[in-house]
Every structure is written in structure tokens, then in C-alpha cells.
Structure 1
């Protein structure tokens, strides 16, 4: 019995040590992939109901599993400092894919020159993730995606 427990523990730790292994139970969603895009400037600028603009570029995307679902976290870059009220806004759910737009409000008054890194996240429940195979976050100049293995 003790030998069986030691073998099971060894096997679990061996699989967990393999970072990109499909057998790894801790590897829920894979590494993010970038795709360069150019979004229509009118769409990037926002709408009357949500005047926030798309973040210039998404630099990192991660999904962290929780007991009730997952936390989707995106990091982006803005062209000047002072952006605020960052949020991942649901854009669409279609055929096992969920798409978010990374939006933030531009600075009020005179912006400070220099790039700004901004982070936003959203809590997704197990019910919301049921049947979802990929998650994409869109910025003005690129998009990043993660997929289930």
C-alpha cells in the first residue's frame, strides 16, 4: 500500500514537472499566442455606451485555474500614461471560443508622455467555461489567445 502511494506521488510530480506536457493536469490552458492585427479605428475608439478605447497592445495573457473556474488576466500597453478604468469586455462567445476586448479610459487633461503598462482581469465560472476551447483578448494592434490542450 505504501509502495503504491509513493509510486502515485512520484508519477504525479513527474507529470507536473513537464511544463508543456499534455498530460500535465496543472497545464489547463496553454501558453498565449500573439497575432498582429489592425482594428478599425472606429471600433477601437469605443461606442457611446462605452467610450473607452482598446489598449494599444496586449503583451501577456494568462488563465489561472480556481476552485470555481478561472481568472483571465491580460497585460497591455498604452501609448501615453494616465489610462484608467481598464476592463476585459466580453465581445462574443461562438463555437467554443470566447473573445474579450481590452478597454481602458484615456487620460483626462494633458497626458504624460511614455508607455504605460496596465492589467485587467475577469473571473470566469466553471459554467461560463463549459465547452470553451479558446480565449482571445483583442487590443488595437494585436490579439492574444490561449487554448485548452
Structure 2
């Protein structure tokens, strides 16, 4: 073991004594030379944000325009407006004309959900299944939905109205 260590030490000292030799590990990269800096053109965009939309593994499931195909619910059976910090919760229940409604939402009738003459109006809508039939059981036709309305959106609102096909429910401020 001593013989191996001694021979490696002698070989290292011998190679380092060779100033210009390619075998000397100190000379492998040569001396540094000064060069002018590369021209860098200023970029107006952030180089970390991609500029083009590139596909990936899940791009087939990507961003598609979703079109809501809901229709107004037959009857609005209940409307409750509950005060919460920062606004109110508008909760509506209804009875659909067909079985198995899904995708229930309150759609603002007024443009940009702005009140008209102090009345904020929504339409209770639900999507219809493809093979929806009509039964007499009301349990399979009941829909419930709620949305949060902020204090800013409630500014100037005296009445909230939710409409269906055959009726509408209103709730006024006290």
C-alpha cells in the first residue's frame, strides 16, 4: 500500500513540474483571456413566461369554451337571503319540469349583474339530462343553488328577485 501511495505522489509531482504539458491537470483549461462582452439586446418581455402556447400531455383536455346549456326551472319554491360578513348569500330552491336536473345556477338577467331600479334579478336555470323523462315524484326534480353577492354588488339594491318559468320569488331589504 505504501508503494502505491508513494508512486502516485511521485507521478503527481512529476506531472505538475511539466509547465506546458497536456498531461498536467493544471493546464487542461489554459489561461483565461479577456474578450469583449457579448451584445445583449434588451428584451421587453419576461423570458420566464412562454410567449407561445405549447401543447403538453394534457393539452387535449385543455381550455375549451364551455357553453352553458341550462334552461329556466319550472317553479321557484324558496328564496332566502342570508347576511354574511362582506355581503350576502342568495339561496334559491326550485322544482324542475323534468327528472334529474344538474348544473344548477343563478344566471343574472341584468347586464353585468347590475341592479335596475334597485332590483337585482336572477334566473334559476338547470341543465337537462339527455334521457330525462317526466315523473310525478317531486324528489327527483328539486334543485338548490346558492351564490355569494358582495357588499359592493349589493350597493343600491333594495330587492332581489329570482325567476322561473311559471313564477318568481322576491326578497326585499327590511
Q: Which TM bucket (shorter chain)?
A: 0.5 to 0.7
Equivalence map 1:1-149=2 (5 Å): 50-92=68-110, 93-111=115-133, 113=135, 114-115=137-138, 116-149=141-174
| TM-score of the superposed pair, with normalisation by structure 1 | 0.64
Q: Secondary structure at the match of 2:96?
A: strand
Q: Is the 8 A contact 2:97 2:134 kept in 1?
A: no
Q: Is the 8 A contact 1:82 1:112 kept in 2?
A: no
Q: CA deviation at 1:79?
A: 2.1
| TM-score of the superposed pair, with normalisation by structure 2 | 0.55
Higher-Rg member (1/2): 2
RMSD: 1.3
State the Cα deviation string for residues 77-113 of structure 1 (Å, max 9, x = none): 0123210000000111202110000000012224362
Higher relative contact order (CA 8 A, sep 6+): 1
Q: Which runs of 4+ in 1 moved over 3 A?
A: none
Query: How many residues are aligned here?
Result: 101
Unaligned runs of 5+ in 1: 1-48
Q: CA deviation at 1:128?
A: 0.4
Unaligned runs of 5+ in 2: 1-66
